[in-house]
């Protein structure tokens, strides 16, 4: 998250929540003061999901929407920025998380008011509270700006800043940026808006890329992520002011709202929010248009002839084949005859020494090269077994690029600096330092161009994300609004 945005959010949460102890005291004091009036206030419906009910059932029912930036399934595993936040909140409360999927924001609010869920979260702007007076909002945890999106070379795009705007802006129903659009139309009366029912922001972005429509609007994170998938897109300047983003609860769930606010403040203090945010939105603003165009083209023209071998080799090693394909493109751009100045050959850029270790007889053989490369990554992955999850994978990828020895130096340097050597975020800091004399002169394996493996992993993850996007499961819930996917540990 941008440091200035993070600071604004933290100031807001600090204003509302000076401390857990002080805030709890305020809540209790207000309860005592208002106790004589309690007879005048209606009792909460037994269907309302309160904090007490969450603890009684041991489950946090969280309502959200399906999208690549909120909640989705990949290889039957739940993922998404809002999902990870909700999972962290459920862990904070010590309960299980149950995901409930709504079709639209309006249905999400309706489900919340009917007691089908306790918390609703899908990048909701606080501004929406004006339309939903019977919904209570948490303190904000981030901000969002909204930007027009069009294709490269669109003539209408050049006249965006003029009062005469010839194109029609197509948006989904109940878009979160309707306030900004209304303000924009005051100064640009010729601006035409078309509302599409049963369309998501992501589907409209795809239509812009294919030329079916000229322009749509999306939040900056959504816009930049989709530029990876559709590199012919351009993102314009923000329309209007930024919105603060928060979760929604039923107005009667006062203690639940208090605990959410405490949670938001805590994850900002302990950097958990930063970790989740970086996982989904790190580097999305950096897009090499020409490189991505070539990648998409070569996925169709070059990769199919190697796909079966990659799938089989990756499955044997326990890797997602899409990761292996992304690494192969970073190594050779799917060129089986690729040769580097450092003496690496083939699709997976094997050195002759590495090829001998894995019994390769023809280093330029696509099948032999792919199998040996995947096995080598698996060997590195097994070696760095103190790291867990994705940290282990990223460290292994970096070691594939720069060598196991330099990776050990980077981990030792991380320890010296009080960083966790098993976290990729730590290694991203220490690897580039090994190019400086004051560090590499004391390293066992000496000088290293440490920024290269950092960029290497970054590019692989971009290519991997593009491949994953082609198969992400965006489930639509059945007519029964109580559709739920439970996630338990």
Helix (H, G, I), strand (E, B) or coil at 468: helix
Cβ-proximal residues to 126 (8 Å cutoff; 6+ apart), any chain: 137, 140, 243, 244, 245, 246
Which CA distances in Å does 339 have to 138, 330, 349?
A: 55, 13, 7
Measured in residues, the chain has a length of: 489
Parallel/antiparallel/unpaired status of strands 484-487 and 96-102? antiparallel
Q: Is 33 exposed, middle or buried (0-12, 13-18, 19+ CB in 10 A)?
A: exposed
Give the span between the Cα atoms of 394 and 403, in whole angstroms.
13
The helices-and-strands tally (H runs, E runs) of the chain is: 20, 16
- C-alpha 448, offset from chain centre: 31
User: Closest Cα to residue 250, out of 242, 239, 260, 236?
Assistant: 260
First to last CA, the chain: 28
Q: Report helix, strand and coil shares of the chain as percent, to nearest 5.
A: 50, 15, 35
Residue 116 burial (10 A CB sphere; 0-12, 13-18, 19+): buried
d(CA 44, CA 22): 26
* CA angle centred on 282, ends 139 and 407, rounded to 5°: 130
Out of 59, 82, 202, 331, the active site residue is 331
Q: What is the distance between the alpha carbons of residues 284 and 471, in angstroms, rounded to a whole number?
A: 20
179-to-125, 146, 175 alpha-carbon distances in Å: 11, 11, 9
Let me know: does 428 contact 454? Beta carbons within 8 Å.
yes
**Tokens 């490369």 identify what position?**
373
Nearest Cα to Cα of residue 306 among 368, 360, 352:
368
d(CA 369, CA 137): 55
Say how far apart CA 229 and CA 452 lie, in whole Å.
Answer: 24
> Active-site residue 452, yes or no?
no
User: Which of 96, 103, 98, 141 lies closest to 123, judged by CA?
Assistant: 141
Active-site residue list: 331
């Amino acid at each position: 998250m941008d440091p200035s945005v993070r600071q604004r959010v933290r100031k807001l949460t600090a204003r509302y929540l000076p401390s857990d102890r002080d805030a709890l005291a305020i809540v209790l004091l207000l309860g005592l003061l208002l106790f004589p009036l309690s007879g005048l206030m209606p009792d909460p419906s037994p269907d309302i999901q309160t904090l007490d009910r969450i603890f009684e059932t041991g489950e946090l029912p969280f309502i959200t929407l399906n999208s690549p930036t909120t909640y989705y399934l990949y290889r039957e595993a739940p993922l998404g920025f809002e999902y990870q936040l909700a999972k962290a909140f459920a862990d904070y409360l010590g309960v299980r998380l149950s995901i409930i999927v709504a079709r639209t924001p309006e249905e999400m609010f309706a489900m919340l008011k009917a007691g089908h869920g306790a918390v609703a979260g899908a990048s909701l702007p606080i501004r929406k509270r004006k339309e939903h007076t019977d919904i209570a909002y948490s303190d904000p945890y981030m901000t969002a700006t909204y930007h027009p999106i069009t294709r490269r070379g669109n003539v209408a795009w050049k006249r965006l800043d003029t009062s005469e705007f010839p194109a029609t802006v197509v948006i989904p129903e109940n878009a979160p940026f309707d306030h900004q659009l209304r303000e924009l139309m005051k100064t640009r009366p010729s601006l035409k808006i078309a509302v599409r029912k049963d369309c998501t922001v992501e589907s409209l972005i795809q239509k812009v890329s294919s030329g079916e429509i000229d322009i749509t609007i999306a939040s900056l994170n959504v816009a930049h992520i989709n530029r990876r998938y559709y590199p012919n897109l351009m993102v314009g300047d923000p329309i209007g002011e930024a919105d603060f983003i928060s979760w929604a609860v039923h107005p009667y769930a006062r203690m639940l709202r208090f605990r959410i606010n405490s949670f938001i403040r805590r994850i900002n203090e302990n950097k958990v929010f930063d970790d989740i945010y970086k996982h989904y939105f790190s580097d999305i603003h950096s897009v090499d248009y020409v490189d991505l165009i070539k990648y998409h083209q070569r996925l169709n023209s070059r990769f199919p002839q190697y796909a079966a071998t990659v799938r089989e080799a990756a499955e044997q090693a326990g890797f997602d084949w899409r990761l292996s394909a992304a690494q192969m493109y970073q190594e050779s751009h799917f060129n089986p005859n690729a040769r580097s100045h450092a003496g690496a050959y083939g699709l997976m850029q094997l050195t002759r020494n590495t090829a001998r270790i894995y019994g390769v007889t023809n280093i330029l053989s696509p099948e032999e090269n792919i199998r040996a490369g995947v096995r080598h990554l698996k060997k590195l992955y097994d070696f760095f077994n103190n790291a867990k999850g994705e940290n282990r994978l990223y460290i292994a990828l970096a070691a594939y690029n720069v060598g196991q020895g330099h990776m050990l130096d980077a981990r030792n340097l991380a320890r010296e600096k009080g960083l966790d050597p098993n976290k990729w975020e730590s290694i991203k800091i220490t690897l580039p330092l090994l190019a400086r004399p004051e560090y590499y002169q004391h390293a066992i394996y000496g000088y290293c161009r440490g920024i290269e493996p950092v960029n290497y992993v970054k590019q692989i993850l971009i290519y991997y994300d593009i491949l994953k996007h082609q198969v992400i499961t965006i489930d639509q819930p059945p007519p029964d609004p109580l559709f739920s996917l439970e996630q338990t540990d």
